[in-house]
Structure 1
Amino acid sequence: MLFLEALVERSIKEAIEQGQFDNLPGAGRPLLLDDDSLVPENLRMSYRIMKMSGYLPEELQLRQDALNLQTLIIHATNTEERNGYHAELTLVKTKLVHAGFTIDFLDKSDYADAVKERLLKRNCK
């Protein structure tokens, strides 16, 4: 990791000397950094690189998929569509559990309450 850090530092120093950082938006103000305190220190650089390139670790991607599916379930227009999303959500939940991750975030979220409320309203009609 020292090679990568040295390369980055050298590139930053050259950019500063060439004035490439002059007049940037937010100059002189503190940076708004993500809280990565739960990421082991030796993995932080690689996680930042993955995040900047648009990649999410498997657990985070599955969590995002689960939340998106809950939203789709809420807005489904018919039973067949809703059942399809439920099947996909069950598969995502199974993948999370099989990989050793928790799915508690689904039960404790506002999404879960909204899904239940919406489904109850539809079933009463």
Structure 2
Amino acid sequence: MFLIDEIAEQRIREAIERGEFDNLPGKGEPVVLDDDTLVPDTLRVAYRILKNAGFVPPEVELRREIDDVEQLLAGAIGPEQRDAAERRLRYLLTRLDLARGGGGSLLMESRYHGRLSARLGRRPR
């Protein structure tokens, strides 16, 4: 252990012995950590302010809707519903891709997903 680590640990132990951590707000409750590592540095503060105000970034809302449509597709629905859900999924993936800067990777995932679901939807002969 480094010297600075030992000093920090010693000061924490002393504070615990003095009871300085006994009446902290949220004591005994789980710590909620925000995972915003995927948010660009330039947007992180703005997203945190919006989140604290009760707003959700559009990309997150799109991702939730994409998850809902994917669950619908996995539910072995009829062919007409499947086609409608796949069209909706492609549309949502396109919107998400454009919101991220239009790299095209999500569109490729959508095409792959369509081919894969078509293949898995067929029964082996």
Residue 3 (structure 1) aligns with: none
Identity %: 27
Label 1:68 to 1:53 Cα distance change in 2 as closer, same or farther (>3 A): farther
The 2-side partners of 1:48 and 1:26 are apart by: 25
Q: Structure 1: state its 5+ residue gaps.
A: 1-20
Task: Please say if residues 97 and 106 of structure 2, whose CA atoms lie closer than 8 Å, have aligned partners that are also in contact.
Answer: no
* Aligned alpha-carbon RMSD (Å): 3.7
Number of matched pairs: 97
TM-score (norm 1): 0.52
Tell me how far apart the structure 2 counterparts of residues 67 and 104 of structure 1 sit (CA, whole Å). 17
Higher relative contact order (CA 8 A, sep 6+): 1
Structure 2 residue identity aligned to 1:92: L
State the shift of 1:32 in Å.
3.2
What corresponds to 1:33 in structure 2?
33
Q: TM-score, normalized by length of structure 2?
A: 0.52
Question: Please, which runs of 5 or more residues in structure 2 have no aligned partner?
Answer: 1-22
Q: Name the larger-Rg structure.
A: 2
* CA deviation after TM superposition for structure 1 residue 89, in Å: 1.0
Tell me the residue number matched to 1:84: 84
